Amino acid sequence: MAFISKDDLTSLMYEEDMDAITEGKDEEITGDTGAIAIGITEAKGYLNRFDTAVLFAREENERDPLLVETCKSLALYYLTKKCAPNQNVKDIRAAANDARIWLAKVQSGKLTPIGWPLKAAPEANTFFHVSSYPKRKNNI
């Protein structure tokens, strides 16, 4: 199951409006290249110091509410890019911009969400060796 679903998006946009934008094609919202997948992928790009596999595998009540709202805002932004230019989507685009600002703060370390798993440190047994041939003494 995806981190967020079409039902989650209904808290920000009516399902009828989503269906009107996509002409009833749910794969444009929930598919592998749909708005939800693109929004989650963008969020993951900001969160590379966290274990995103664990963070985005959480379901329902285990999910971080602020991260859910952020992903929903980004998904709706990508969904409304398909809207006609005369549609009023300023609020959705402003919410997506706010989400990106919040993600940038998390990425820079200015904000550290509580309970988010960090990536595991690399193994201490990694071996790295640099060497070279002895210095040549041709012109002595």
Residue 139: inside a domain, yes or no?
no
- Specify the long-range contacts of residues 61-64, CB closer than 8 Å, at least 24 apart: 63/3, 64/113, 64/115, 64/116
Residue 138: inside a domain, yes or no?
no
- Mean pLDDT for 32-46 is 93
pLDDT at position 66 over 80: yes
pLDDT of 35: 93
Domain count, the chain: 1
Tokens coding 23 = 């002409």
Residue 26: inside a domain, yes or no?
yes
Of 69 and 88, the structure prediction assigns the larger pLDDT to 69
Q: Residue 50 is part of which domain span?
A: 6-108
Residue 128: inside a domain, yes or no?
no
Residue 118: inside a domain, yes or no?
no
- Mean pLDDT for 10-28 is 90
Cα–Cα nearest to 10, from 64, 72, 98: 72
pLDDT of 86: 62
Tokens coding 118 = 């960090």
Average of per-residue pLDDT values in the chain = 88
Q: Quickly state the pLDDT bin for 40 (edges 50, 70, 90).
A: very high
Residue 69: inside a domain, yes or no?
yes
Q: 62 with 5: CB under 8 angstroms?
A: no
pLDDT in tens, 76-132: 999 998 777 666 788 888 999 999 999 999 999 998 898 888 888 777 776 777 888
Residue 58: inside a domain, yes or no?
yes
Say what the alpha-carbon torsion angle 18, 20, 26, 29 is, to the nearest 10 degrees: -40
Coil vs helix vs strand at 118: strand
Residue 1: inside a domain, yes or no?
no
Alpha helices in 1-140 (DSSP H): 6-9, 15-22, 27-30, 35-46, 52-55, 65-80, 90-108
The pTM of the full predicted model, rounded to 2 decimals, is: 0.79
pLDDT of 115: 86
